[in-house]
Structure 1
């Protein structure tokens, strides 16, 4: 009887937590279908106004900003996966002088808030003529905290792979690159899936760098573009929530296809 009571209590607590987590998402989705004059007077939209989405999609700047976010996030994710996997393998499996010091220096970049370095980065990008381009939005995450986190994640994953696999490959005459490409990389799919989700999500939601390094609307990314729905006359909530709902689609797609490997990657370090 007591165990059943505890189980019921757990379900009640989890249900309340779920409501708190899902509540803002439901409000976003329902608001995106409301009339502009009924945003705060009803929860269930009546009538349903699909025109909100058509009006948002009809804005040329929104579609361009949506594309900018997609291609920048994809490029950054692919580059981080490539560099982080190679660097993680080097730190985990290749012993060279100063490797631990260099690794600690990489990790230290994760402890520095981006607001501290934004002014010197802006001055540097301005001096080399890269302001109002997408190049800073691609390079800075790779060599900043997202890249350092990727190196840390891949290094920790490669450390738990049995060294006997590597020794057997060396005895068979495999080079370092072939060992990495044919043995370690296929085994690291769970870690790569985890890193894909984290990297894509962090770049998809990035607001500071696009705000600082881009000036024209056609070069802005989606997070900055969403802020344009608020001006001196107020906030167009029905358009803002419609655009935000559309902005969640790529994240849901990425997580849907990588969720199984993501869970494996998150638990890979707990057992050896």
Structure 2
């Protein structure tokens, strides 16, 4: 008798699991993807965006941004992925504490951008660091020679002191990356590029200020962004599942992000869409 009851319970559990599985698979969903911290390792974010793109049950995506920015290449990878996603599904951004520089850049392709009134955003600009230790090495009697194929091959090496010509080369490169930032903003935001240049000098804004400048669309929190995503997907008044797509970062990546975000010396040069601390 007990064995029959046990078998019966197992059958019921299996049936309930199958029902819940197919209900989950077929139910319309809003996916939330978190982008937190310094933007450097972008592959997990791209994977989640592609997963949301492929899954037909996901009808819209909310990107929860809480980032001061990061490497230019990584930010552009995410920007491009969101461009492709929005062609097929509505994308809404919800800005948290900070969505500045690269954090703002990746928000731009969204159909609608929400920010809290006190969100820190803006910081539109590009930065690259060069640390010169040549004078210190001279004082302690250490000489390092760089055997190079061209005079600018070691332009950012710490034992190299920048010449005026090299500094000009870097400034020209930074200007090109900066112009890419501006062009990518005006592609989706209702602002003129000449007007944008007047305040795209690295300054930060509150969410409320950014709304006045048309850098964001509305003031609100993550719940407002999810509600907006339901509306854009035509799901108002319907039962919708809200799911979170995310991948936990390993300890090493968190340590690397911490070093960058606290402004410590980085051993390899990159251009950054990164808010200064």
Instruction: Give the TM-score normalised by structure 2.
Output: 0.22
Instruction: Flag the structure with higher strand content.
Output: 2
Q: What TM-score, normalized to structure 1?
A: 0.23
More RCO (CA 8 Å, sep 6+): 1
